[in-house]
Amino acid sequence: MKIGVFDSGLGGLVITKAFVEHLPEYDYVYYGDTKNLPYGEKTSEQVLAYTIEAIKFLIKQNCGLIIIACNTATSIALRYLQQKFIPSYAPDVKVLGVVIPTVEEALEDNAKRIGILATQATVNSHIYQQELLKLNPNLDVFEIASPELVPAIENNDFATAYKFAEQYAKRFDNINSLILGCTHYPLIKTKLREVCKDGIKIVSQDELMGKKLADYLNRHIEIDICLSRNKEIKVLVSHNNDHYKEVAKSLFPNISIEEVLTDA
């Protein structure tokens, strides 16, 4: 069985690279639903449908452990997948998200005031606020949606992304930690660290998910022993173009990107 990684676009490739750097011996299948991005502006019904289709596709790719790298899909679909869909469709498959590990990381330094920068759908779900307050009911949590960032990053328009990053940073002037609640945002984390107020910890998922996955596999030997170890990586998307090829090649120089049909 392989490790599957799903995202609404190519942002999750940054997370996949973190997995490969921490656990290079495993086999990975990455699927980016580039045809339907951005998820952050879609309805919950649309996101759920796209995510179920993606999970079915990765299961057909022989993935026994699937990580939903997309924060929007995690916030809308993960609970349904874990509690309803997977138990009946593929009970031996495990599906994980990125929110809980991120929340745990944000609270490591005893932060009292935490900011969330995320897509509109993720902010509307309040999933980060809910999970943070479960662990510390006395926290002050500030959520801001940033709908401009994902399209700019996917279109390789970093000048626009940086402009909006600077604007949003000014709105987080009295926090201890800032959670980057979208897998695209690690691509602008350097800019955010530059423009955010000194002393604010930037919690970027690419910097924590590798060690979190390693810890999960150490604690779940029954899953780990079922995973293949041939150091193979496959990158698949629902729509391909030259820019996507360039992004994939910048992260994985020796891997080609393939367009696939995912109708399950």
Active site residues: 70, 182
CA distances from 69 to 81, 111, 148 (A): 14, 24, 19
The string of DSSP codes covering 131-151 is HHHHH-TT-EEEEEE-TTHHH
Q: What is the CA radius of gyration of the chain?
A: 17
Report the C-alpha gap between 208 and 21 in whole angstroms: 12
Q: Exposed, middle or buried by CB within 10 Å (0-12, 13-18, 19+), for 174?
A: exposed
Report the C-alpha gap between 245 and 255 in whole angstroms: 10
Q: Contact 24/231 with Cβ under 8 angstroms?
A: yes
